[in-house]
A = this chain, B = another copy of it.
């Protein structure tokens, strides 16, 4: 009998977040699941790694019959430790990250710990998918997200990621019946318009607290934001080459 594929599950909301439990339930249908996830919430950590401090790993018994470790580091640290320490002698067939509480569509991929963990796996030559539900609540209903994650993981394990190693999957809020399907599309151009809440702390010192609103700058109809708006799950095949090729020629004046 062929052994079941090894699936690494991680996230950025922390190992006790409901979203990772929902993802583990799906992933275990498709393979042997192992979990390495942060011991505390790590939203907005981007591709941060821990350079100046030691990192801790602790085995935890949170999910029936599943080997799980909590990690004191960032989401990217979790993936590095899984790949290079805990499971260095095994082949990880797929890394799945999430299900994130909140959207990682458009430019959010840059800030997201969930997507950075998935990207790290892809950098280390492991096929990887980040899943996010457009609902920040810890009480969010993951039923529809689980249904689509199940479908997508099954398809990807069967057919492979081809010339890509990373998918950014976002799932609208709502019941399964209200979601019309899945669309492969591009990352929308967008921006966070920031505000900072200013306040005075109990010791009389001024502080700033980040808040803001996402603005979609992209009017084309084949973006993740557009498809999510029409009630579809969006899938953006993603990479890590940031070269802006169409600017190479224009910047010729810097060949000094």
Contacts and interface: CB of A to CB of B under 8 A. Distances in A.
Interface in A205-237: 205-210, 235-237
A9 B182 CA distance: 43
A107 B76 CA distance: 14
A240 B242 contact: yes
Given A48-B45, A187-B241, A81 B208 contact: yes
Contacts of A57: 206, 208
A152 B254 contact: yes
A138 interface: no
Contact of A243 (B43, B187, B194): B187
Contacts of A124: 191
A44 B80 CA distance: 14
A51 interface: yes
Contacts of A192: 123
Interface string A26-41: 0000000000000001
A139 interface: no
**Contact count band on A:** 35 or more
**Looking at chain A's contact residues, is the secondary structure mostly helix, strand, loop, or mixed?**
mixed
Given A41-B52, A52-B41, A237 B241 contact: no
Contacts of A111: 47-49, 76
Contacts of A80: 194, 196, 210
Nearest to A113: B48
A123 B107 CA distance: 9
A250 interface: yes
A162 B205 CA distance: 42
7 contacts: A47-B47, A110-B123, A162-B250, A183-B255, A184-B251, A187-B243, A238-B244
